[in-house]
Amino acid sequence: MVNIEEFISSVVCRAAQELYGTSDNIQIQKTRKEFEGDYTVVVFPLLRASKKSPEATATELGEKIVASTPEIKSFNVIKGFLNLAVDASFWAARFQEIIATEDYGMAPKSGRTIMIEYSSPNTNKPLHLGHIRNNLLGYSVATILKANGHNVIKVNLVNDRGIHICKSMLAWQLYGGGETPASSGMKGDHLVGKYYVEFDKHYKAEIKELVAGGMSEDEAKKQAPIMLQAQEMLRKWEAKDEAVYSLWETMNGWVYEGFDVTYKALGVDFDKVYYESQTYLLGKSLVEDGLKKGVFFRKEDNSVWIDLEADGLDQKLLLRGDGTSVYMTQDLGTALSRFEENKLDDMIYVVGNEQNYHFQVLKLVLKKLGYEWSDNIFHLSYGMVELPEGKMKSREGTVVDADDLIADMVGTAREMSDELGKLEGCSEEEAAAISEMVGLGALKYFILKVDPKKTMLFDPRESIDFNGNTGPFIQYTHARIRSIMRKAEEAGIATDNYTEATLLPEEVELIKSLTEYPAVVRTAGEQFAPSVIAAYAYELAKQFNGYYHDHSILKEERTEVRALRLHLAAEVARVIRSAMALLGINVPERM
């Protein structure tokens, strides 16, 4: 398939070379909408060679290009800018290429292997709105990278050990009365999360009591009996105490079953799941290696550190004095094993922006240990998700639960679809399936259309609006086109003579937008940015709706024009379907 940007560049460079003996530093960009033309050439770099004014140089170059290139129908000059207009026949040929390309927009195999880690939940609570952003972002980036031809390995690192896990376990032991997911009717992750909140409630009560007895608040936090019990439980877990380990396995099992239900509802999955309980010791040999090389140093209390002050950072702990690991120790070992086992070219961590410093240090430490592949570690940092009511707090139980949010989105989608008559003629089964598709599509699109680095405000009802920059608007556009195609098929309308039709300017513009899709997919992959795909899908849907409002398709009497419009509509639907799939969003056949 013709690469349009490369074609235009070759045409311009060849003409400049023939006229002026140089084509260095020529800039070509898409013509701004307020000017006539498709591509704009900045001629200022040619002035030294042309020895003419910008306007004269642009005019001479334009005349040369139009005379030698049938695909360029005309040009105009505005100051030092040459605007080139491409002939409609060129776009008609590109349209035929699009129709003939089965996997349009997808790149050939690159040979690169990329691992992307996302989700990374703790097993002491259910997934919440922040996890939703993480999962949707990670899954979409993985899908976009696959579309760019890369071999992608999706992984999850579950934080299944530590004091926070013991808090839930202890509270269940003290106050649970043997309650289970089966006996309570609660999802396992919700049940465990309930006891995490319960721990916090009793912990605060004990602190208050100790402070009332004359102890300082800082000391009370350390001496609260329930906290001391949790710390003792953690020590027993690390010593593989049989009773504690058995309880840990049981409660984690409840959580995993609950997580799996949520992941399935969100439509995300993983190729491999790592568990912190199995990886937290991995980095110890790396630390020993760093000590031998003089990269790290040991303090009097036997703890191991690295001094990064010369790099504008501070000193960083790598191993505690008692020999136990910290997160950095684990991540060093995990990174090494992943690169070696999977022969990775790149490793992407999808983690909130509160961990920016951690990943900066991780890359730097690996670099100092001599691992050049550390340059290929990327932290895909994202901002908080806030609600109109404010921030969320897990330990206080004020979190927006992922399962509740998904259910609310589907319910709101059903309610709004009914109000607008979008489900008329649908069976109950169809209506339920469409409502789920629209509710989840609204949630995913609203989150993914925002640049990951930005803190975002999530408004559930706004996200399900069928007008504006929303998932349901794009989904409805697809359903509308599919309805047109079904009616055409039922009426036996032929579409085989579409190449005989003359393209209208609006049809050329739609085809131009379709030709941009492969470049959009490429850019989204290079920037790890689903928001690029979302913006493209919205603009394409909006553009088609404007075209459809002004031009009849099924009622068009000229058979070749009607055939062209049906093909154009079908390709718009196909590209919308493909783009939305890269965001993890399904589109309905009818609405």
Tell me, what CATH number does 11's domain have? 3.30.1360.70
In the DSSP assignment, the letter for residue 401 is B
pLDDT at 394 exceeding the cut of 50 = no
Residues in the chain: 591
Is the confidence at residue 395, as pLDDT, over 80? no
What CATH number is attached to the domain comprising 467? 1.10.730.10
CA of residue 207 relative to chain centroid, distance: 42
Task: Tell whether 195 and 167 lie within a shared domain.
Answer: yes
d(CA 288, CA 284): 6
Task: Indicate whether 553 pLDDT > 80.
Answer: yes
Residue 249 domain boundaries: 162-265
In a domain, 118, yes or no: no
The confidence score (pLDDT) of residue 291 equals 95
Cα separation of 374 and 377, whole Å? Answer: 5
Phi and psi (nearest 5°) for 491?
-85, -5
Rounded to whole angstroms, the Cα distance separating 148 from 142 reads 10
Average pLDDT over residues 215-241: 95
Confidence of residue 389 (pLDDT cuts 50, 70, 90): low
Residues 96-124 pLDDT 10s: 999 999 999 999 999 999 999 999 999 99
pLDDT at 334 over 50: yes
Is the residue at 291 inside a domain?
Answer: yes
3-state secondary structure of 533: helix
Residue that is last in its domain, among 53, 71, 86:
86
If 0-12 CB within 10 Å is exposed, 13-18 middle and 19+ buried, where does residue 372 land? exposed
Contact 503, 96 (CB under 8 A): no
> Can you give the pLDDT at residue 325?
80
Chain mean pLDDT for the chain: 93
- Give the pLDDT confidence score for residue 457 in this predicted structure: 86
Same-domain check for residues 296 and 170: no
Question: Is 299 part of a structural domain of the chain?
Answer: yes
Mean pLDDT, range 279-288, rounded to an integer: 87
Bridge partners for 265 per DSSP: none
- Kindly tell me if the per-residue pLDDT of 390 is higher than 60: no
Residue 92 lies in a domain: no
**What does the pLDDT read at residue 399?**
67
Residue 398 has pLDDT above 60, yes or no: no
Is residue 470 over pLDDT 80? yes
What's the first-to-final CA gap in the chain, in angstroms?
A: 34
Q: Are residues 44 and 173 in the same domain?
A: no
Beta-bridge partner residues of 158 = 275
Helix-then-strand count for the chain, H and E: 23, 14
Q: What is the pLDDT of residues 496-546, one digit of tens each?
A: 889 999 999 999 999 999 999 999 999 999 999 999 999 999 999 999 999
CB atoms under 10 Å from CB of 519, counted, come to 14
| pLDDT single digits (tens) 51-71 | 999 999 999 999 999 999 999
Among the candidates 55, 86, 117, a domain finishes at 86
Span 449-467, pLDDT tens digits: 999 999 888 887 788 888 8
Instruction: Kindly tell me if the per-residue pLDDT of 421 is higher than 90.
Output: no
Task: State the average pLDDT over residues 157-165.
Answer: 93
The pLDDT of 438-442, averaged and rounded, is: 95
What's CA 197's distance to the chain center, in Å? 31
pLDDT at position 422, please?
A: 84
Q: Are residues 474 and 536 in the same domain?
A: yes
Checking if the pLDDT of 224 tops 60, the result is yes
Question: Which residues touch 351 (CB under 8 Å, ≥6 apart)?
Answer: 117, 120, 134, 358, 359, 379, 380, 381, 382
As given in the structure block, the two tokens for residue 50 are 């042309």
Let me know: does 576 contact 477? Beta carbons within 8 Å. yes
Q: Do residues 289 and 258 share a domain? A: no
Would residue 62 count as lying in a domain?
yes
> Among residues 27, 55, 86, which one ends one of the domains?
86
Question: Do 426 and 522 reside in the same domain of the chain?
Answer: yes
Strands of the 27-30 sheet, one edge to the other: 27-30, 39-42, 81-86, 72-78
**Domain identity same for 224 and 294:** no
- Cβ neighbors of 401 (< 8 A, separation 6 or more) are 126, 127, 128, 190
Checking if the pLDDT of 236 tops 80, the result is yes
Question: Which string of DSSP letters, residue by residue, matches 56-100?
Answer: HHHHHHHHHHHHH-TTEEEEEEETTEEEEEE-HHHHHHHHHHHHH
Asked if 526 and 448 sit in the same domain, the reply is yes
Specify the pLDDT at position 2.
82
- Average pLDDT value for residue range 157-168: 94
CA distance 554 to 243: 72
Has residue 416 been placed in a domain? yes
- Give residue 157's identity as a one-letter amino acid code: L
The pLDDT value recorded for residue 396 is 45
Q: How far apart are CA 30 and CA 310, in angstroms?
A: 45
Q: Are 564 and 422 in the same domain?
A: yes
Report phi then psi at 132, rounded to 5: -60, -45
Mean per-residue pLDDT, 222-251: 96
234, 166 contact by CB (below 8 A):
yes
Contacts of 173 (CB under 8 A, 6+ apart): 247
Q: Are 49 and 197 in a shared domain?
A: no
Residue 589 has what DSSP assignment? Answer: S
Q: Is 467 exposed, middle or buried (0-12, 13-18, 19+ CB in 10 A)?
A: exposed
In the chain, how many domains are there? 4
- In the chain, pLDDT over 90 holds for what percent of residues? 83
**pLDDT for position 130:** 87
What would the DSSP string read from start to end of 462-501? HHT-SSSSSHHHHHHHHHHHHHHHHHHHHTT---TTGGGS
Q: Are residues 319 and 183 in the same domain?
A: no
Is there a domain that residue 548 lies in? yes
Helix, strand, or coil here: 240? coil
Q: Is residue 93 part of a domain?
A: no
Domain identity same for 490 and 436: yes
Collapsing DSSP to helix, strand or coil, 447 comes out as helix
